[in-house]
Amino acid sequence: MTTDATATAPWLIVGLGNPGPGYAANRHNVGFMVADLLAGRIGGSFKRAAKAQAQVLEGRIGPVGPANRRVILAKPMSYMNLSGGPVVALRDFYKVPTANIVAIHDELDIDYGVLRLKLGGGDNGHNGLKSMTKAMGADYHRLRFGIGRPPGRQQVADFVLKDFSATERKELDYFVDRAADAVECLVTEGLERAQSTYNS
């Protein structure tokens, strides 16, 4: 539910992933990929946050006028399973309502490239969400980016920490671009509009 406070407050858009070049192209790091694309659209670069273990970029999203929103893009540098600490520190520093936080993350239980936007819910075994929910409750937005289930008997942990396959990479840029569009729609037009446009 939108209140006067949340309507005028900034948004905190959090791409979830693991820091370091060894993880950069992993399936688990698709949140970082979307955040990087959004940073490029805003026209800035990430800088180390003074008050949190994260990289941040402040900017604005949306057309000139009432739909234009102040946003803080963030990539926690704490490793996935400790994401909650940096997110809460940024939330408190920038005075962002929990309902104005968006977590962008990989999702095993939906097919590759499929997007799902939602508010609240469980963590479905995702360590980044688990850490965020433990730190601040579950009432934040999520953009779930489908990566599908591992083939055969491959372990989930091994699957998410591997790079996208050559076949997947052919469409990855398109799906990341669409995910960035979905985040922008959520922030400027609201959850219902974003869901009707991007939930497939």
Q: Which residues are catalytic?
A: 28
Residue 91: helix, strand or coil by DSSP? helix
Alpha-carbon span 96 to 190, nearest angstrom? 16
By three-state DSSP, how is residue 122 classified?
A: coil
Kindly provide the b/e burial profile for residues 14-35, where b requires at least 16 CB atoms within 10 angstroms of the residue's own CB: bbbbbbeeebeebbbbbbbbbb
CB neighbour burial string for 106-139, b if at least 16 within 10 angstroms, e if fewer: bbbebebbbbbbeeeeebeebbbbbbbbebbeee
